[in-house]
């Protein structure tokens, strides 16, 4: 059976959708091998199915629960809200790895839902201009994908959310310096990560 809840280090990851508004050239979805095969879902699980799978784990043994997987997790606000409620009731924090398109995807501003449910909002900055972003993220929103993401980050920060942008180290020192400026302008932190991790947490 495909994996709805999976372990990465001492974190538990929730994989509730395979839909995404991007088609990033570095996405693990583009790597066809046995490591990631089980994250392809036959269908999206219901909230109760996700909760059932999560309850198989002892949360005391993990540091956090992360919404991430083979898709953009904000397609599943129902899962995010219900699972976050459960995770917080167990005294554990939540994190999301998102492309920042959630408000556009849902047709409304979801930043308050993010801030209310997610302790660390990880947003893939990836690049430092709309054109460069589109070149590697191949968004259905074209160059607007970058602006949509930045605006989402700003909205989350404005509501008191802890936002962490991420870029890969391979973009080089000049772009990393610009990424730091963007993060500062937005009020977010910046995480510089390796290009690909062999654990599915590629953003
Ligand atoms: S890396 Fe994330 S945003 Fe990019 S295509 Fe994969 S799931 Fe979507």
pLDDT of amino acid 33: 54
| Distance in angstroms (rounded) separating the CA atoms of residues 124 and 10 | 22
- In terms of C-beta density within 10 A (0-12 exposed, 13-18 middle, 19 or more buried), how is residue 144 classed? middle
> In terms of pTM, does the model score above 0.85?
yes
From 13, 22, 97, 141, give the residue whose CB has the most ligand 1 atoms within 8 Å, as the site to mutate.
Answer: 22
| Rounded Cα–Cα distance for residues 148 and 116 (Å) | 20
Identify the residue whose C-alpha is closest to ligand 1 atom 1. Answer: 27
Q: Which CATH superfamily is domain 5-193 in?
A: Aldolase class I (3.20.20.70)
DSSP 8-state assignment for residue 114: H
Element (H, E) at 97: strand 94-98
Instruction: Verify whether ligand 1 is closer than 6 Å to residue 149 (CB atom).
Output: no
Q: How far apart are CA 48 and CA 31, in angstroms?
A: 30
Give pLDDT, residue 199. 45
C-beta of residue 176 within 8 angstroms of C-beta of residue 192: yes
Q: Show me where the domains of the chain are located.
A: 5-193
Q: Is residue 139 lining ligand 1, measured as CB closer than 6 Å? A: no
- Give pLDDT < 70 ranges for the chain: 1, 30-37, 195-203
* CA 71 to centroid of ligand 1, rounded, Å: 6
pLDDT score, position 1 = 53
Check residue 135 and give its pLDDT. Answer: 97
- pLDDT of 202 reads 47
In this predicted structure, what is the pLDDT of residue 203? 47
Ligand 1 contact, 22 CB (< 6 A): yes
CB 97 within 8 A of CB 65: no
**Sign of torsion over alpha carbons 11, 15, 19, 23:** positive
């Amino acid at each position: 059976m495909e994996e709805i809840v999976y372990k990465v280090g001492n974190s538990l990851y929730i994989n509730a959708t395979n839909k995404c508004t991007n088609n990033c050239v570095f996405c693990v979805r583009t790597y066809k091998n046995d490591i990631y095969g089980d994250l392809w879902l036959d269908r999206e699980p219901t909230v109760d199915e996700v909760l059932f799978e999560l309850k198989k784990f002892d949360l005391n043994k993990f540091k956090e629960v992360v919404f991430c997987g083979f898709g953009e997790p904000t397609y599943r606000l129902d899962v995010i809200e219900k699972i976050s409620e459960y995770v917080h009731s167990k005294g554990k924090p939540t994190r999301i790895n998102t492309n920042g398109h959630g408000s556009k995807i849902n047709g409304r501003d979801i930043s308050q839902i993010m801030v209310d449910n997610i302790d660390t909002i990880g947003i893939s900055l990836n690049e430092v201009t709309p054109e460069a972003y589109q070149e590697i993220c191949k968004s259905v929103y074209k160059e607007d994908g970058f602006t949509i993401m930045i605006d989402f980050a700003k909205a989350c920060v404005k509501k008191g959310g802890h936002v962490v942008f991420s870029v890969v180290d391979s973009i080089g020192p000049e772009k990393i310096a610009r990424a730091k400026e963007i993060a500062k302008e937005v009020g977010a932190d910046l995480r510089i990560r390796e290009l690909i991790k062999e654990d599915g947490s590629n953003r």
